[in-house]
Amino acid sequence: MAILTWTPPPTAVPAAVTASWDTQQRPSYNPNAPRKLKPNPNLKPSPTVTLTTRTDPSVFDILKRPTQEVTPVKVDTDESYMGYERWLPTPPKVAKPRSVFNAATLAYIGDCIYELYARRHFLFPPLSIEEYNDRVTSVVRCEAQDALLQELLDDSFLSNDERNVLRWGKNISSSKTRTKKRAGAAVYNRASSLETLIGYLYLTNVNRLEKLMVKLGFSTGASTEMILKEVNGAKPVQ
């Protein structure tokens, strides 16, 4: 019978491990980074470009741009007023608009009437749609309406009743819009007061409205008379 003997394994000797840290940071290599190119002595420097400041024309200059003379059409007397053909839609018959409508409502319809005059003014000579839009947009902006309103006030054209309508329309409360933020609350409110007056005259006295729009510089019918003059500053509504 064989006798088996067991011999224990030798004791493991611990190995010593040495670690070191590199305290100096080195930039990592990026293969996609652009390489530094050597300057080309044959490359000519690009010319210096001078940018000019844009100066937009005033509303008075835009309204004074030449328009084509139109031969007036003879119409029946009953269908005209002030020697021009009746072209505005007939307003509703309201004896006292201020007792029926608020200022915002009159400014709402006045804005439409104002733009209709502006579009008609620039209808001749025929232009491209882009030029139409540029001209009309320039005079329907609240800054342009404010400048035209100051012309009326400086010339003492408005009656006391019409000035009261302006003060009434100036107090229209409205939410903050992009236009109001751009032009400022004062300019925006004065422009709204002009629209209120136009809406008021549309409902009460179309003949007076016609005179007002001619005074502002808009042609009516075949008229091409421009009676506006350039103003240097604007004054607030008194």
Task: Give the bridge partners for 84, in sequence order.
Answer: 81
Rounded Cα gap, residues 23 and 14, in angstroms: 29
Tokens 């990592």: give the residue.
28
Handedness of CA 132, 138, 142, 148 (dihedral sign): negative
- Cα distances (angstroms) measured from residue 107 to each of 8, 112, 158, 190, 192: 108, 9, 17, 11, 6
At residue 66, the pLDDT reads 63
Element (H, E) at 169: helix 160-170
From 3.30.465.10, 1.10.8.50, 1.10.1520.10, 3.20.20.370, which CATH number describes the 59-82+101-216 domain? 1.10.1520.10
Integer Cα distance of 237 and 234 in angstroms: 10
pTM for the model stands at 0.61
Q: Check: CB of residue 144 under 8 Å from CB of residue 138.
A: yes
pLDDT at site 67 = 59
pLDDT at residue number 192: 93
Instruction: State the pLDDT at residue 36.
Output: 67
**Does 89 sit behind a cis peptide bond, omega within 30 degrees of 0 on the bond before it?**
no
Catalytic residue positions? 111
pLDDT at 191: 93
The token pair at 215 is 């005074």
Residue 13 DSSP SS3: coil
pLDDT at 96: 86
Chain centroid offset of residue 72 CA: 35
Is 129 within 8 Å of 142 (Cβ atoms)? no
CA distance 236 to 110: 20
Q: Can you give the pLDDT at residue 165?
A: 96
Tell me what pLDDT residue 45 has: 67
How many whole angstroms from its chain centre is CA 41? 50
- Judging by beta carbons within 10 Å of its beta carbon (0-12, 13-18, 19+), is residue 12 exposed, middle or buried? exposed
C-alpha to C-alpha distances, 231 to 37, 58, 61, 68, nearest whole angstrom: 58, 10, 11, 26
Per-residue pLDDT of the chain (238 residues; tens, 9 = 90+): 556 666 666 655 555 555 555 555 565 666 666 666 666 777 666 666 555 555 677 877 887 776 555 444 444 444 444 444 566 788 888 888 888 999 999 999 999 999 999 998 998 888 899 999 999 999 999 999 999 999 889 888 999 999 999 999 998 876 666 777 777 888 989 999 999 999 999 999 989 999 999 999 997 654 333 333 333 344 444 4
For the purposes of burial, counting CB atoms within 10 Å of the CB of 162, is it exposed (0-12), middle (13-18) or buried (19 or more)? middle
Q: What are 90's two structure tokens?
A: 């007939």
